[in-house]
Structure 1
């Protein structure tokens, strides 16, 4: 290789290195993303005659027109339809909360076809953190002389601890 090709190759490698490092920097931009994929639904239809592939496919498309990825397969006298039900926002929010109960702040649920995209603001507010810890540990005002709740925001997550009540220090 001549010198000009080496310079161009070095420039391209440097550019790719910088682009890759800036893309990695965006991952910690304060949001966390998770994709929830719902399993496909299955419907079995037993036929009186032999199952034909084309007819089975067409039957699946016709019966599940509002669904995604509808496909039919024959197994003896049975036409097996697999399809994915479109995502609904209510179901998506419920699944996001079920999967990551600790990330309750800034939840944004987005439906994309049959998949649910859960997007959380990876940020912790001390006042909200304290209140959520009290709820999580079932603490009430009567308990303040028995034990206390301590909360701390760390890397965008709320960390809860419980312990004996804090003693006020006397000045000497």
Structure 2
């Protein structure tokens, strides 16, 4: 880790309380300790995802992983970062389309060009009513983004979108036309 992310001395702010809330000591006595450990690890690592924009000859793709509001706030704090988000061809929707991974501001204000939003997830009974978040999908669509969902492959669009059954969907992105006159 970069030295600025290493805490020396006592944990600052609410972190000691948050650490205690994890109840890690109970894992030793929990019959479902592996599942519990996985759930705790999931909660701990979501906001540590690599968040990056890939620019290929002017075609930008956004991959925020499972970044949550804190990571987005950091991105929004720098105007250069926000500028990168304005002209995307593709957005891999964060954290399977859950309630805490795609800020409303990004969809309604920052992503200004039509593009593809891929929602990668498999239906899980526990979250079937909440993931992907219905209002997120509706907002993406109403802001002229083609939503490609893993559970509902879209209709094929010749030269742009190829659907391969329920296995995968292929999106063809073309570089913007940057002719110099």
Structure that is richer in strand per residue: 1
Relative to the length of structure 2, the TM-score reads 0.24
Rg: which structure is higher? 1
Relative to the length of structure 1, the TM-score reads 0.25
